[in-house]
């Protein structure tokens, strides 16, 4: 099962902010057995948002998670971008549930009654309405850490396969909505799938040489993805070369752990037989 992530915000593209939202989503989805097949980072630009979501929909992931652009300001345009490609034609209109969430949120933050908050907001912050203007088919997700609700677009209105989950860009808010509303939703779908990973690091043997074995063996283990990472570092003024071998699998197949262990041992022995040295082991934990 595959998902994609679209991170929206110019600040990510001028080096002002290093993304943490994509990392958070990945770190929570991978252990659930949900693969991420693309991350797209784009600026706050309506056409680019529309096109990135459209491109992603053609690849038919199970979910598209977007981050950013749900706030009250003029450059928050994620939902408008998404709305342009929903079908049949959707109106952007005020969602009563979303508006209620916004009032509740202010009311909690300022310790005032909902009634007080309503008249205060109407008078002083008319832009709060913008956060409640959603595509007609959208389902708002309560944001316990901020104003802008998350937004779920059911798959019936996208390509029939992909559910779009739009999350705010503020990490605290994204994380709260993700944990409260998304994790169990994904879990239901990936219940049978598990993610496995293990690996080791070796030295004294080049990556190219090691790879020859992988070429000859990888087709025997089609469900296991074998990756090597060469690295070099300076140690006491000397450059040290090492290679990390990493085995992963996303699968329902319960015999995979045995196969991973088998492959792990074959690769390790190959290194040792070629006078390579195992520096660190990270075997499969179950």
Tell me how far, at minimum, the Cβ of 255 lies from a second copy, in Å: 22
Distance between CA atoms of 163 and 181, rounded to whole angstroms? 13
Closest CA to 79 of 128, 22, 19, 140: 140
Phi first, then psi: what are they for 262, rounded to 5°? -60, -50
Determine the angle formed by the axes of helices 114-124 and 96-110, rounding to 10 degrees: 100
**Under the criterion CB under 8 A, does residue 89 sit at the interface with a second copy?**
no
Structure tokens at 42: 């784009």
Contact 22, 7 (CB under 8 A): yes
Determine the angle formed by the axes of helices 207-217 and 256-273, rounding to 10 degrees: 140
**Under the criterion CB under 8 A, does residue 10 sit at the interface with a second copy?**
yes
**Under the criterion CB under 8 A, does residue 12 sit at the interface with a second copy?**
yes
Tell me how far, at minimum, the Cβ of 176 lies from a second copy, in Å: 12
Q: Report the residue number, 225 or 265, with the smaller CB distance to a second copy.
A: 225
> Strand 238-251 vs strand 225-235: parallel, antiparallel, or unpaired?
antiparallel
User: In the set 91, 192, 212, 262, which binds a second copy (CB under 8 A)?
Assistant: 212
Residue 141: HSE in the Cβ half-sphere, 13 Å Cα cutoff: 24
User: In the set 142, 211, 261, 282, which binds a second copy (CB under 8 A)?
Assistant: 211
Q: Which residues have a Cβ under 8 Å from the Cβ of 15 and sit 6 or more positions away? A: none
Applying CB under 8 A, the span of 31-39, 86-94, 180-188, 257-265 interacting with a second copy comes to 31-39
**Under the criterion CB under 8 A, does residue 84 sit at the interface with a second copy?**
no
User: In the set 86, 166, 170, 224, which binds a second copy (CB under 8 A)?
Assistant: 170
Tell me how far, at minimum, the Cβ of 36 lies from a second copy, in Å: 5
According to CB under 8 A, which residues from 90 to 149 bind a second copy? 124-128, 145-146
Q: Please state, in angstroms and as integers, the Cα–Cα distance from residue 262 to each residue in 37, 259, 274, following that order.
A: 27, 5, 19
Tell me how far, at minimum, the Cβ of 16 lies from a second copy, in Å: 7
User: In the set 155, 185, 209, 252, which binds a second copy (CB under 8 A)?
Assistant: 209
Q: How many CB atoms lie within 10 A of CB 33?
A: 20
Which residues pair with residue 24 across a beta bridge?
A: none
Structure tokens at 272: 């040792």
User: In the set 62, 72, 283, 284, which binds a second copy (CB under 8 A)?
Assistant: 72
Structure tokens at 52: 């990135």
**Under the criterion CB under 8 A, does residue 197 sit at the interface with a second copy?**
yes
Applying CB under 8 A, the span of 85-93, 177-185, 219-227, 257-265 interacting with a second copy comes to 219-227
Q: How many CB atoms lie within 10 A of CB 81?
A: 25
According to CB under 8 A, which residues from 227 to 286 bind a second copy? 227-232, 246, 248
Report the interface residues with a second copy, using CB under 8 A: 10-16, 18, 23, 26-27, 30, 35-44, 48, 52, 55, 71-75, 124-128, 145-146, 170, 172, 197, 206-209, 211-212, 214-215, 218, 225-232, 246, 248
């Amino acid at each position: 099962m595959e998902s994609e992530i679209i991170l929206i915000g110019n600040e990510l593209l001028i080096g002002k902010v290093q993304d943490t939202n994509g990392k958070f989503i990945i770190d929570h989805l991978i252990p659930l057995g949900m693969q991420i097949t693309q991350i797209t980072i784009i600026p706050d630009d309506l056409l680019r948002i529309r096109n990135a979501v459209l491109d992603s929909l053609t690849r038919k992931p199970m979910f598209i998670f977007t981050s950013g652009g749900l706030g009250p300001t003029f450059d928050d345009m994620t939902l408008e971008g998404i709305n342009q490609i929903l079908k049949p034609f959707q109106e952007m209109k005020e969602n009563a549930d979303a508006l209620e969430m916004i009032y509740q949120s202010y009311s909690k933050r300022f310790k005032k009654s909902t009634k007080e908050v309503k008249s205060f907001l109407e008078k002083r912050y008319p832009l709060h309405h913008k956060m409640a203007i959603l595509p007609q088919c959208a389902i708002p997700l309560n944001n316990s850490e901020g104003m802008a609700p998350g937004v779920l677009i059911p798959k019936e209105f996208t390509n029939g396969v992909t559910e779009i989950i739009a999350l705010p860009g503020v990490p605290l808010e994204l994380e709260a909505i993700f944990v409260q509303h998304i994790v169990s939703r994904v879990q239901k779908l990936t219940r049978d799938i598990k993610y496995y990973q293990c690996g080791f690091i070796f030295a004294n043997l080049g990556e190219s040489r090691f790879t020859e074995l992988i070429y000859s063996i990888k087709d025997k283990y089609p469900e296991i993805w074998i990756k090597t990472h060469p690295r070099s570092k300076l140690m006491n003024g000397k450059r040290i070369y090492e290679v990390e071998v990493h085995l992963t699998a996303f699968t329902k197949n319960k015999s995979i752990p045995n196969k991973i262990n088998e492959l792990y041992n074959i690769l390790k022995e190959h290194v040792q037989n070629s006078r390579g040295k195992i520096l660190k082991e990270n075997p499969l934990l179950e």
